[in-house]
Amino acid sequence: MSTPRPDPIPEPRTNVTSLFGDDWDHLIEPPTTEADQWEQPVPLGQAHILPPFPIEALPTWLAAMVHAVAEETQTPADLAGCLALAVIATAAGGRVVVSIRGRWREPVNLYTAVALDPGNRKSAVFALMTDPLLAVEKVLVERSALIRAEADTTAKLARSAADKAAARAANAEPDKRAELTAEAVELAQAAEGLTTPAKPQLVADDITPENLATLLSEQGGRISVMSPEGGIFEIIAGRYSGNPNMEIFLKGHAGDMVRVNRQGRDSQHIERPAVTMGLAVQPEVLEGIGRIKGADGRGLLARFLYALPQSLVGRRRLDPDPIPDPVADQYAQQLSALALALVDWTDPAVLTLTPEADAVMLAYQRVTEARLGHGGSLAPIVKWASKRDGAVGRIAGLLHLAAHPADGWARPIEAATMAAATTLGDYFTAHALTVFDAMGADPARDAARLLLAHLETNPVGTFTKRELFRLLGRGDFPTMADLDPALALLEEHGWVRQQTPPPRSGKGGRPPSPRYQTHPALGTPQD
């Protein structure tokens, strides 16, 4: 039986509120009343059904290319979709910022990481999505050849003139030495100020942090690391130095100023570094980066947008439709137009929001904030989720530029574009929850599994926290407070439900211990 062809590309949504689902208002202010019926509990460690990449959130020409690449290569659309965002970020990174509200601004560079096992044709997808960028890079190199040659020749002549003036001063008669020395110094200073522009480069592969800083300095503060492998994480972990070195990757994402001073080398000063990363890695690499010393604590893990698509290996069509020439041609033309239009910008263009787009963004922020607190669905990934709204702002800027590659900087971001960005934000959130669960970033997970195993072995209809604490070993739960994160996680997954406490009598005394009801799936209470 052949695998069915992918569905046609969904039409872009124009109804802003439809992007949030029918229960949009419910997400902002969850109801306070308890449901009478139990829903199916979610297994721990598989807390979120991973959604497919929302191709419909992309502008038409970009969506068409993502769909066509996924079809021809028989790969999940997530890979080409995440690369599409990274490719647009490569074209615009360091040249555009999004003004969200007040002084809150977000650059439009992104870090994306897609996890797929070997044999999923990652290299083929990378080539199809990045070849137009390399073509633009070649054009930039050719266009700057004369300028670089003139600058190089001028610098060489100036250094030669300075050397000759220094020789004349050294051999001059005492009465003329001061004058000739002053002339030699002036020529040396002039020669020192002349530099040859570096050969333009948009994309690098695996690169050391030191070389990345050099490239940023040479390329006007921006560079993109695009690779179908995860070797860059080994480099960050200290493959060559023996110690983790992530400073440039942290600052390159945030746009924080970089100053590098090394003995025997010119100092490097990058005012607003913009690093973009588009990576494809094996799933176990994501687990490994969680063990890089300082990667979690310093926020490197929180800077990535993760995707864990389902592999199509074993059910791929052997006669896929090739990418239509008009689709590939339009993709190359639009991407080239955007990259070439922004390449000479020095001060970044500032994208603003329409009032309606700002309202969409503010509503999304409220959803995020409501879920960050204790027991909230985003609490286990609070570091990542704290950057979620900023990532949505960056994505909105990229979608806007992709929709208007010729003049996007001259018009504000509209509400539909911001809503499409929130759709992508929800997609990346669902995948991040699973990734960080695999990394073991949630300390309550193992404890929740211990509680769940106990309740499965000793089923009860209800229990109080104090009763449960008395039955558990002190080695796992030294104090009663240690139960709170695990119980919150079990409640989030639908295994237990805290009951409303009875009204207080007013006589004082210790408050009653919280009582929980267990899901019927945990078994019939024992006599």
CATH number for the domain spanning 461: value is 1.10.10.10
| pLDDT value, residue 440 | 66
| pLDDT value, residue 241 | 66
Backbone angles phi, psi at 432, to 5 degrees: -65, -40
Number of independent structural domains in the chain: 3
Query: Considering just the CA atoms, what is the radius of gyration of the chain in Å?
Result: 29
CB 378 within 8 A of CB 437: no
Domain with residue 92: its CATH number is 3.40.50
Q: Are residues 266 and 237 in the same domain?
A: yes
CA angle 354, 360, 361 (to 5 degrees): 90
Domain membership of residue 6 (yes or no) is no
Residue 399 burial (C-beta neighbours within 10 Å; 0-12, 13-18, 19+): buried
Given 399, 424, 439, the domain boundary residue is: 439
Q: Are residues 176 and 209 in the same domain?
A: no
Q: Which residues contact 433 (CB under 8 A, 6 or more apart)?
A: 47, 48, 377, 378, 380, 381
Whether the predicted pLDDT of 68 surpasses 50: yes
| pLDDT value, residue 467 | 92
Domain membership of residue 10 (yes or no) is no
Q: Are residues 415 and 389 in the same domain?
A: yes
- Within a 10 A sphere around the Cβ of 525, how many other Cβ atoms? 12
- Output the six-digit token pair for 15: 């109804």
Residues 416, 360: Cα–Cα separation, whole Å: 9
Given 439, 474, 502, the domain boundary residue is: 439
Residues 306, 509: Cα–Cα separation, whole Å: 50
Whether the predicted pLDDT of 70 surpasses 80: yes
Whether the predicted pLDDT of 283 surpasses 90: no
Q: Are residues 133 and 162 in the same domain?
A: no
Mapped onto helix, strand or coil, the DSSP state of residue 496 is: strand
Whether the predicted pLDDT of 1 surpasses 60: no
Backbone angle region of 258, left / alpha / beta, with phi > 0 → left and psi within -120 to 50 → alpha: beta
Domain membership of residue 12 (yes or no) is no
Say which residue, 290 or 153, is predicted with more confidence.
153
CB 55 within 8 A of CB 10: yes
Mean pLDDT of 138-154: 88
Mean pLDDT of 8-27: 45
| pLDDT value, residue 149 | 87
Burial letters for 135-164: b for 16+ Cβ neighbours within 10 Å, e otherwise? ebbeebeeebeeeeeeeeeebeebbebbee
What residues does 258 pair with on adjacent strands? 270
Q: Are residues 356 and 497 in the same domain?
A: no
| pLDDT value, residue 475 | 81
Domain membership of residue 236 (yes or no) is yes
Mean pLDDT of 470-484: 88
Residues 64, 369: Cα–Cα separation, whole Å: 34
Q: Are residues 174 and 112 in the same domain?
A: no
The closest of 80, 76, 86 to 111, measured between CA atoms, is 86
Mean pLDDT of 401-422: 97
The closest of 61, 58, 85, 97 to 342, measured between CA atoms, is 97
Domain extent, residue 456, equals 444-522
The closest of 445, 424, 423 to 436, measured between CA atoms, is 445
- Output the six-digit token pair for 500: 């409303």
Residue-wise pLDDT for 203-215, tens only, equals 998 788 888 988 9
Domain membership of residue 46 (yes or no) is no
Name the strands in the sheet holding 274-281, side by side, starting at the edge strand that comes first in the sequence.
203-204, 222-227, 274-281, 111-115, 304-307
Q: Are residues 434 and 449 in the same domain?
A: no
Burial letters for 243-273: b for 16+ Cβ neighbours within 10 Å, e otherwise? ebbbebbbbbbbbeebebeeeeeeebebebb
Whether the predicted pLDDT of 524 surpasses 80: no
Burial letters for 22-45: b for 16+ Cβ neighbours within 10 Å, e otherwise? eeeeeeeeeeeeeeeeeeebeebe
Residues 190, 78: Cα–Cα separation, whole Å: 53
Q: Are residues 89 and 156 in the same domain?
A: no
Q: How far is CA 223 from CA 137, 213, 257, 278, 508, in A?
A: 12, 10, 15, 11, 65
Residue-wise pLDDT for 125-134, tens only, equals 999 999 999 9
Residues 153, 140: Cα–Cα separation, whole Å: 20
What pTM does this model have?
Answer: 0.74
Residues 52, 324: Cα–Cα separation, whole Å: 23
Average pLDDT, the chain: 86
Domain membership of residue 166 (yes or no) is yes
Q: Are residues 251 and 369 in the same domain?
A: yes
| pLDDT value, residue 145 | 85
Q: Are residues 480 and 388 in the same domain?
A: no
pLDDT interval class at 414 (50, 70, 90): very high
Residue with tokens 């023996």: 242
Q: Are residues 264 and 330 in the same domain?
A: yes
Residue-wise pLDDT for 231-280, tens only, equals 888 888 776 666 777 889 999 999 998 887 665 556 677 889 999 999 99
Domain membership of residue 7 (yes or no) is no
The closest of 509, 352, 378 to 441, measured between CA atoms, is 378
Whether the predicted pLDDT of 496 surpasses 70: yes
Q: How many residues does the chain have?
A: 527
| pLDDT value, residue 507 | 63
Domain membership of residue 152 (yes or no) is yes
Residue-wise pLDDT for 163-174, tens only, equals 998 899 888 888
Mean pLDDT of 326-350: 94
Mean pLDDT of 354-375: 95
Say which residue, 492 or 353, is predicted with more confidence.
353
Residue type, 153: T
Residue-wise pLDDT for 293-308, tens only, equals 888 888 899 999 999 9
Residues 107, 254: Cα–Cα separation, whole Å: 8
| pLDDT value, residue 18 | 41
Given 439, 464, 499, the domain boundary residue is: 439
Q: Which residues contact 146 (CB under 8 A, 6 or more apart)?
A: none
| pLDDT value, residue 54 | 98
CB 405 within 8 A of CB 96: no
Lowest mean pLDDT among 254-268, 269-283, 344-358, 384-398: 254-268
Q: Are residues 180 and 294 in the same domain?
A: no
